[in-house]
Amino acid sequence: MVTLSQIQTALGRVRQSIPISPCTRSETFSELSGHSIYLKLENRQRTGAYKERGALNKLLTLTPDERSHGVIAASAGNHAQAVAYHASNLGIRAKIVMPLATPLIKVSATRSYGGEVVLHGGNYDEAYEEAMRLSEQEHLTFVHPFNDDAVIAGQGTLGLELLEQCADLDAVIVPIGGGGLIGGVGCALKETNPGIQVIGVQPARLPSVKVALSEGKPVTLPPAVTIADGIAVRRVGERTLPLVQKYVDEIVTVEEEEIANAVLLLLEREKILAEGAGAAALAALVNRRIPLLSEKTARDKAGKKIVVVISGGNIDVTLLARIIERGLVKDGRLVRLRVHLPDYPGALHRLTGILAQHRANIVETAYDRAYHNVNLGDTAIDITMETRGPDHIAELISALGANGYMHERIL
């Protein structure tokens, strides 16, 4: 099992190449939670995520013979880019096996960092099997994303940074995939100060570590899709589970909508771009999913000092666009109404005049004369509008009713 000494040694190895990421206080989330909240911004790393720490530490432990043959990894995202980037900087050949469905932007980024990308398989498991086959065939060292002591120790350097950046730290909230990050961070923190609470967060759709803890052993979960793809791990590592059992105080899960909302909150309130996995820890905080943090003692009447790890920022822009749009709908700043009106010249002008009078901004319209139980001679129009919030929507609906329009809100 990884030790504090190994993590300290790893910090000495990687410090020259991996900068200390910012850990900044958030006034917004401090006020919202009643605690003193700090955000550890691993999305500011060169490849956009904390994965560089473990990848680089592993690469720096290779023997000359292993370096000469090169390395291989299986990944659809952050680990791929981290291995490719640091291997290239060290002059080590890096082959990365990625599933066929990997977004082009991630494939291109991995190649731009110097990785030889092999597209294979319909999912991570098939890419992993191909990577293992190529590893044996070409004598390449396999760099596992989490189930490797050198990788875990590298990720643990984040914990040592926190001890320097945040004096009197009470708790750290960490996203969990395979357990490498929280295992390393938990060891670094608890072996230095056992009083610090370490809390893990998983997507509710893939709670692999939570299940493993209840079963007392790693369990492979069925495949599931989550916007927190960076922590969408079906089975915890054999080397990470003992660390979680020893050092992690609590593990909670968050729903997809909560993760999406956390991405939007970070972007809008803090001007921080986070991927789904990167925002998972914040989602647990703002949705009050963590019972341990609701317990206040006489010492912390003003709240606890808590670090939330924003583990990465590599989000696909199309997914980000959907998250923003759905967030606007949820907040009542975007609404779609279906209005029935007579199908004659000037009818639309009268309708839009009412909407303009109440300061709604129309962004999209769609006519339909054949469906939605429209009477002959009438039409239905779906109008999407930007609004100021729920009260503004209620005002619009009231105005339409007062003017005799049949209408319904489309959710």
Distance from the first to the final alpha carbon of the chain: 50
DSSP helix/strand/coil, 115: coil
In one-letter notation, the amino acid at residue 179 is G
Checking DSSP bridges between strand 36-41 and strand 71-74, what pairing results, if any?
unpaired
What CA dihedral angle connects 160, 166, 171 and 177, to 10 degrees? -50
What are 285's two structure tokens? 């905080």
- How far apart CA 393 and CA 224 sit, in angstroms, is 36
Question: Which residue, chain included where needed, has tokens 């900044």?
Answer: 24
Examine the residue annotation and report whether 305 is marked as an active-site residue of this protein.
no
3-state helix, strand, coil in the chain (%, to 5): 45, 20, 35
- How far apart CA 385 and CA 398 sit, in angstroms, is 15
Nearest to 39 by CA among 198, 165, 179: 165
Residues forming beta bridges with residue 38, ordered by sequence position: 25, 307
Contact (Cβ atoms closer than 8 angstroms) between residue 280 and residue 290:
no
What are 65's two structure tokens? 């013979």
- How far apart CA 331 and CA 389 sit, in angstroms, is 6
Q: Give me the phi and psi of 297, to 5 degrees please.
A: -105, 175
Show the CA angle centred on residue 314, arms to residues 313 and 317, nearest 5°.
Answer: 110
Q: What region, left, alpha or beta, does residue 310 occupy, with left being phi > 0 and alpha being psi -120 to 50 degrees?
A: beta
Contacts of 216 by beta carbon, 8 Å cutoff, 6+ apart: none
Contact (Cβ atoms closer than 8 angstroms) between residue 59 and residue 84:
no
Examine the residue annotation and report whether 17 is marked as an active-site residue of this protein.
no
- How far apart CA 267 and CA 270 sit, in angstroms, is 6
Sheet with 378-386: list strands edge to edge: 361-368, 378-386, 334-342, 406-410
Q: How many CB atoms lie within 10 A of CB 238?
A: 12
Options 21, 40, 51, 190, the catalytic residue: 51
DSSP helix/strand/coil, 74: strand
Q: Return the active site residues.
A: 51, 311
